[in-house]
Chain A
Amino acid sequence: MAGVLCPMCGKSNPTELENCQFCDARLTPLSASTADASPDQGLPLGPAPTTSSDSSGDLPDWLSGLGKAASEDEEEVPDWLASLSGEEAGTSVPASAPAPEPGLNATGSLSAGPGGKDWMARLGSEPQSATPETTPQSGLQGKGESPDWLNQLKEKAIDSELAPLGDEGKAAGADIPDWLSNFGSTPGTPEAATGESLPEWLSDLEAKTGTESAASAPIFSSELPPSSSARDETPSWLSQFQADVNAAEEQEAKQEQFDAATQPPAKENGTGTLPDWLAGIKPASTPSDGTPALIATDGGTAPEEKDDAAFSMEIPDWLSKLKPEQAAENTPEGDTEPSTPENLEASELPSWVKAMRPVESVVDGAKATPQENAQVTEQSGPLAGLSGVLPVGPGMGSLRKPPVYSTILQVTDGQQRYADALERLISSETQPQTAKRAHLASNQLWRWVISGLLILAVVLPLITGISVTQASKLQPPEMVNAFTLIGNLPTNAPVLVVFDYDPALSAELETAAAPLMDHLMLQGPRLTLISTSPTGPALAERLLHDTSASPLVAGHNYQAGQQYVNLGYLAGGPSGVLYFAISPAKAAPFTLDGQQAWQLPPLQGIQKLSDFAAVIVLTDNADSGRVWIEQAGSTIGNTPILMVISAQVEPLILPYYDSGQIKGLVTGLAGGEAYGQTFVRPDAQTGLAQRYWNSFSVGILVAELLVLVGALWSAFTGWRARRDKSGEGV
C-alpha cells in the first residue's frame, strides 16, 4: 500500500502522519493544511476539480466550487485575471466556471475564493481555509469540497496564466474533468474539450498567451500525459508530464535555486482522491512559504522570455503548456532522461522566477565547473534530479564533498586586454633601468681630450727642443735671500741638508733644489744629510749622484764619508727631530752604511745643531717643514734655516718666512728656474729646470685654457640645468 512520500527524504510514510518518521520533515506543506490529510496530493495546479467528470453539461464540482466562491464573494477581481479576461472585476463567474472555493470567481477567474480574495493568494496564504477533506480525489468525484491537492496548489505563487482549460478528455475518464482533458490541446484553441466549453476567461487567457512557448511550468511540463482512461490509471500524458517535470528540475538545478512550491506527488489512491494526472507527479519540494516550485526548463533550452507580466496577470505556465494531443508522443512515465532540446518543447520561466534567477555568469561558471560532475544528484525526494543540493539534515543526507568552484577568473577579452596593458605598465616601472652610458662616456671622453692635449703640449717642446718661452725674470725676495745666504757661506762650512720629500715629488724638488745645491756645492761645504722619511736617504743619494736627477749636482762628485755624511733615517717624527735638535750625535750616531758618523771628517766639531752653518730643508710637506721649524728653532740659535719647498706648500710656509723663522725660500720649478737665472754658473751650464721650462710654460697655458673654457661651459650648463629644474618644480 502506498503511503505518503516524504518530500525531503523520499521515504514512504503513513498517510496519517504529519511529519516524516525518518527525517521529521513535514509531509505536507504548511500552506495547504487541508492537504495534510492527503499528503500525497498532487501539486497545486490550480483550482481543485471538485465536480465529477461525467457530467457533460455540468461543471465539475470543483469548478463549481470555484465559481461559488467567486459568486459568494464579489470582491474585486485580481488584476492579472481582469487584464487577461478583459472583463470587469466582479463579473460573475460564467456558468461553466466552477465555484470559487477556491476556484473561479464570478468573473471566471481562478483568483476568487472564500472571502472573495485572490484564489492564488489564498492558495499560498490560507492553507487552512481549504477544507481539510478536500482532496483531489474527492474533487474529481464531484464533491463540493476543495480537494487537498488543490489546496496544495495554493502554495504556488505563479503566474496565473491559465492554459486553455478547454475541455479535456472527459471521455478519457469519468474522473477527469473536461478541462483537464483539454490540457494537451493546442494553445489557441479555446475549446478543445469535448462536451465542455471553456469559460470565457480561460479562452481569453489562452488566446493571450497564444502560442508562446518555453514557459517553464513550475512542475509540469507543457505537455501532459494523455488522458487516462481509468481513474486508477496514470494517464500517459500525466506520466509524460511527470517525466518532463523531472527533466526540467534537473535543468533548473544548474541555474540556481528556485523555491519550489511543490506538493507531494499526486499519488494514485485507491479511494480515488488524487487525480490520475497528478498521481504520477513526484513532489519536488515542500513548499514553505508559497514560493513557486522549481522551474525546470525543458531540454536545457533557455526559455523564451515571455512578457514579464505581473504575477497576477499571467496564466500559470504549466497550464499554458498542457497539451492533450502531445501526450501520446510523450515518453513513458518515469522517464527521467534529461530532456534534450530536440525532445521537449522549451518551457517558459515565469517572470517572478526570472527575477530570482542568479547572474548568468555565475550560472555559466557553475556550468563550466568540472566539479559539477562530481556532485551528487538527488535521486529521490522533491529535489530529485537536481545536483548540488544541500543535504536534508545533518547526517540524513548523503554527505558529499563540498563543491569546488573554479578559481579561474572569468574575464572577457576586453578586460584581459586592459589587464595586460596594466601589467606591462607596472612591469616597466619595476624593471631596473640601465644607467645612461652617455654621461659616463662624456666623462671618459673629456679625460682623453685633456690627457691628449696636455701630453702633446709637454712632449712637443721636449722633442723639438724649440724654446717658446723666455726665461723667468722673476726674483722673489725669499729666493734672493736664499741665494745671498748660500753665497755668503764660508768654504768647507758644515751644512745640514734635510731630505724630507716623497719620491712622487722628487722631480719638482730635484729641479728646484738643484741650482741651490749646485751653488752650495761650488762653495765646497761639508754636507750632512738626514731624513725623517724612510726614502729620504735614498733620494739624497740620488740627488748627489744620479745625473738623471741632477746633472749639475752629480757633477760635483761628492764622496760619502769625505765630503758628505748621510745619517740616514731619523724615526719618530717630531720626537726624533727634537732629539736630533737637542743631541744630534745621540740621535743619529751612525751613517747609512753603518759607520760611526760623528767621527768622520764632515762632522768634525759638530756637537749641536747650532754648530752647523746652515740648515737646508728640502720638503714637499707643510707638516715636515713646520716640525723642523718648531723643534729646531729653539736650539738652532743663529743658524739660518733655508727651505726648498714644493709649490703646493708655499702658502703654509710663507708665514714662517714672514715671521723670520726661515731666512730663504725656493718654491717649485719656477723658483728653481729663477734661482738658476740668478746664479749663473761659470760654465753657463743649466739644469733640468731650464730643460723643463718650455714644456712647463706650454703645459700650464693649455691647462689654463682648458680650465677657463671648460669652467665657463660647465657654469652655463649648470645654470641651465638648474633653471630647467626650477621650472619643472614650478
Chain B
Amino acid sequence: MPAISSANVVDLITGGISFLLTLMVLSYLIGDNPVFLVAVYIFIGVAAGYAAAVAWHQVLDPRLIGPLLSGSLAERLLTIVPLVLGLLLLFKLSPRTSHLGTLSMAFLVGVGAAVAVGGAVMGTLFPQTRASMNALDLSGAGQYWLERLSEGVVMLVGTVTTLVYFHFGAKATASGPQRSKLVSVLSWVGQVFIAITFGVLFAGVFVAAMTALIERLNFIITFLSSL
C-alpha cells in the first residue's frame, strides 16, 4: 500500500476545497441560494487579498521600499516623489480629504493620456487606415484577384459605414436635429456590419463559456474518480 505523502494529502485537501467550491457555484443553476453567495463572497475576499499581496511584493516593495531603504541618494530622492504622491492618493478614500489626492490623480491621468494617445495614433490609427487602403491592393493576389477584390470592397464598405454610424452630428431642422439622408443610409449599412460583428463576438463568448463548463465538469469527474 503506497504511503500517503503529505503532498498527496495537501493535494487531496486543496482538490476537495476546489471541488466543494465548484459545486457551490454550480448550485446557482438550481436557483439563487446562500451556498452560492458564500462561495462568491469568499472568492471576492481571496481575490482582493491576493491582489494586495501581489501589489505589495511586486510593486511597492521593489520599486518604493527597496530604493528608499537601500538605494542611492539619487534613487531615494527620486523615490520620495512617488511616495508622496502615493500617500496623497490614499486621501481619496475619504470624501472630505479627497481633494488632496487630486495631484496624484492628475499625474496619473496626464501620463495615461499621453501613453494612450501615442499608442492609438502609432498602433491603431495609422496601421488600420493603411490596412483599409491595402484591402484593395490586388498585387500578389494572382488568380484570386476577384476574391481579393470583393473582400476588399466589403472590408472597405464595412469600415467606412461603421465609422459613419458612430458619427452623431446632425443638422438643426424645424422638426429637430436630423442626419442627412446619405449619412442615414450609410449608418444603416454600418449597423448591419456591427450586428454581424456582435454576433461573432457573442458566438465567441459562448464558445469560451462552453469550454469553461467542459473543464469544470471534467475536473469534477476527475476528482471523483480519483477518490
The interface on chain B, measured as residues whose beta carbon lies within 8 A of the other chain's beta carbons, has a size of 45
Q: Is the CB of B208 within 8 A of A630?
A: no
What separation, in Å, do the CA atoms of A548 and B123 have in the docked complex?
37
Which A residue sits closest to B61, measured CB to CB? A594
B224 to chain A, nearest CB (A): 10
What separation, in Å, do the CA atoms of A669 and B211 have in the docked complex?
7
Which residues of A approach B to under 8 Å, CB–CB?
444, 447-448, 451, 454-455, 458-459, 462-463, 504-505, 507-508, 511, 534-535, 537, 548, 568-569, 571, 573-575, 578, 589-590, 592, 594, 620, 626-627, 629-631, 633-634, 646-652, 655-656, 658-661, 668-670, 688, 691-692, 695-696, 699-700, 703
Which A residue sits closest to B211, measured CB to CB? A508
A508 to chain B, nearest CB (A): 4
Q: Is the CB of A646 within 8 A of B214?
A: no
Contacts A451-B29, A575-B112; is A534 near B50 (CB within 8 Å)? yes
A29 to chain B, nearest CB (A): 85
Determine, out of B114-122, B139-147, B174-182, the stretch whose residues face the partner at the interface.
Answer: B114-122
B54 within 8 A of A: yes
Which A residue sits closest to B135, measured CB to CB? A658
Q: Is the CB of B122 within 8 A of A634?
A: yes
B160 to chain A, nearest CB (A): 14
Q: Which 5 A-B residue pairs are closest in the complex by CB-CB distance?
A: A630-B123, A630-B119, A507-B215, A659-B131, A647-B204
B45 within 8 A of A: no
B40 within 8 A of A: no
Complex partner residue of A647 from B112, B128, B207, CB under 8 angstroms: B207
Q: Is the CB of B128 within 8 A of A668?
A: no
What separation, in Å, do the CA atoms of A627 and B197 have in the docked complex?
21
Q: Is the CB of B197 within 8 A of A574?
A: no
What separation, in Å, do the CA atoms of A590 and B61 have in the docked complex?
11
Q: Is the CB of A659 within 8 A of B130?
A: yes
B127 within 8 A of A: yes
Q: Is the CB of B217 within 8 A of A459?
A: yes
Chain A residues contacting B128 (CB-CB under 8 Å) are 655, 659
Specify which of A511, A571, A647, A655 lies most central, judged by the most chain B CB atoms within 10 Å of its CB: A647
A548 to chain B, nearest CB (A): 8
Chain B residues contacting A462 (CB-CB under 8 Å) are 214, 217-218, 221
Which B residue sits closest to A444, measured CB to CB? B31
A-B contact pairs, 19 of them (CB 8 A): A447-B29, A458-B213, A462-B214, A507-B211, A535-B50, A568-B58, A569-B58, A569-B59, A590-B62, A592-B58, A626-B124, A631-B115, A647-B207, A648-B204, A648-B208, A668-B207, A669-B211, A670-B207, A695-B217
Q: Is the CB of A534 within 8 A of B54?
A: yes
Q: Is the CB of B123 within 8 A of A661?
A: yes
Q: Is the CB of A648 within 8 A of B201?
A: yes
Q: Is the CB of A534 within 8 A of B115?
A: no
A656 to chain B, nearest CB (A): 8
Q: Is the CB of B119 within 8 A of A699?
A: no
Q: Is the CB of B131 within 8 A of A660?
A: yes
What separation, in Å, do the CA atoms of A559 and B40 have in the docked complex?
34
Which B residue sits closest to A654, measured CB to CB? B200
Complex partner residue of A699 from B123, B205, B214, CB under 8 angstroms: B214
What separation, in Å, do the CA atoms of A650 and B206 have in the docked complex?
13
Which A residue sits closest to B15, measured CB to CB? A548
What separation, in Å, do the CA atoms of A655 and B130 have in the docked complex?
11
Q: Is the CB of A459 within 8 A of B50?
A: no
Chain A residues contacting B197 (CB-CB under 8 Å) are 651
Chain B residues contacting A699 (CB-CB under 8 Å) are 210, 213-214
B25 to chain A, nearest CB (A): 11
Q: Is the CB of A659 within 8 A of B127?
A: yes
Contacts A462-B221, A463-B221, A627-B119; is A511 near B211 (CB within 8 Å)? yes
Chain A residues contacting B30 (CB-CB under 8 Å) are 448
